[in-house]
Amino acid sequence: MAMRNNTLRRLLDAGQPTIGTHVMTPSPNVVEMIGHTGLFDYVEFTAEYASFDLHDLDNFCRAAELYGLGTLIKIDQDGQRFMAQRAVGCGFQGVLFVDTRAVADAQACVRAVRPETPGSDGLHGVGARRITYGGAAGSAEYIQALKDVVVALMIEKGPAVEHLDEIMAVPGVDMVNFGPSDYSMSIGRAAPYSQVRQDPRILAVERKMIESALQHGVAPRAEIEHPDEARAYLDLGVRHFCLGTDLFILKNWWQQSGEALRKMVGA
């Protein structure tokens, strides 16, 4: 059995734009609903914020593969090597690492998913996990699959911005995403998300990250809640977007529709 193609890697290497969406619910049914639309290149499981077990990760990837959807997982910093390697073993095509602060952090993220083989400098060995069930463990295809895992970094801490160009220059970093709330908190300007997103000082830092990424051949990604928000990023050269989050989409619908119905029937 051949290893499955990495949708995210293929699109990035081809210089194509990508559109994803976030989910905090590990249900494969949600993944299938996204796949049915035929409109998204990948689905990101924001595991950093979710409750899940390793069986959920297997089933998440199985559902995505039915529709040719790429998969990305966002993981906590603590235990990131363990979680990254288990996620890759389940079939995730990319890993979004949080809380990068220095060059050494970025290097550790790359090494966590790359194969431990001459010329690679990685730390990922052979595991009898889902992606190797067909007998690919230790094969040239398996090694290439680990080399193809997309490494994405959250740029969301003050020290990371101070060392922006050095981090972007780390070999193996494929994509970066700005985290305005974490960044604001890390520099002593914590505020509600709606305020942070309108703070010109924070927006200037995000723009700086985008410019640095493009200069170093790293793909900057923007997280947006509505398609109209993409216009400003497109003007900056951003071509990669992650649109909406399942639980927030539901909450907003319940809020708006519930208020409308309450007004109709009486308080």
The mean per-residue pLDDT over the stretch 144-163 comes to 96
Which of 63, 58, 52 shows the shortest CA–CA distance to 131? Answer: 58
Answer yes or no: is 112 within a domain.
Answer: yes
What is the model's pLDDT at position 163?
96
What is the model's pLDDT at position 217?
97
Angle at the Cα of 49 from the Cα atoms of 4 and 187, rounded to 5 degrees: 115
Residue 87 has pLDDT above 60, yes or no: yes
Distance CA 167, CA 151 (A): 13
Answer yes or no: is 232 within a domain.
Answer: yes
What is the model's pLDDT at position 91?
94
Answer yes or no: is 165 within a domain.
Answer: yes
State the pLDDT confidence band at 3, using cuts at 50, 70 and 90.
low
Domain that holds residue 105: 7-265
Residue 2 has pLDDT above 60, yes or no: no
Residue 245 has pLDDT above 70, yes or no: yes
pTM given for the model: 0.94
> Do 90 and 65 form a contact (C-beta atoms < 8 A)?
no
The CATH number of whichever domain residue 101 belongs to comes to 3.20.20.60
pLDDT in tens, 200-239: 999 999 999 999 999 999 999 999 999 999 999 999 999 9
- Strand, helix or coil for residue 151: strand
Task: Report the percent of the chain where pLDDT is more than 90.
Answer: 83
What is the model's pLDDT at position 190?
87
Answer yes or no: is 236 within a domain.
Answer: yes
Where is pLDDT greater, at 241 or 267?
A: 241
Answer yes or no: is 119 within a domain.
Answer: yes
The mean per-residue pLDDT over the stretch 149-160 comes to 97
Q: Mean pLDDT score of the chain, rounded to an integer?
A: 94
pLDDT in tens, 218-229: 999 999 999 999
Burial class (CB in 10 A: 0-12, 13-18, 19+), 214: middle
The mean per-residue pLDDT over the stretch 46-52 comes to 96
State the pLDDT confidence band at 134, using cuts at 50, 70 and 90.
low
Domain count, the chain: 1
Answer yes or no: is 2 within a domain.
Answer: no
Q: Tell me the two tokens of residue 264.
A: 């109709």
pLDDT in tens, 159-189: 999 999 999 999 999 999 999 999 999 999 8
Answer yes or no: is 1 within a domain.
Answer: no
Task: Report the percent of the chain where pLDDT is more than 70.
Answer: 96
What is the model's pLDDT at position 126?
82
Where is pLDDT greater, at 88 or 190?
A: 88
Answer yes or no: is 203 within a domain.
Answer: yes
Residue 251 has pLDDT above 60, yes or no: yes
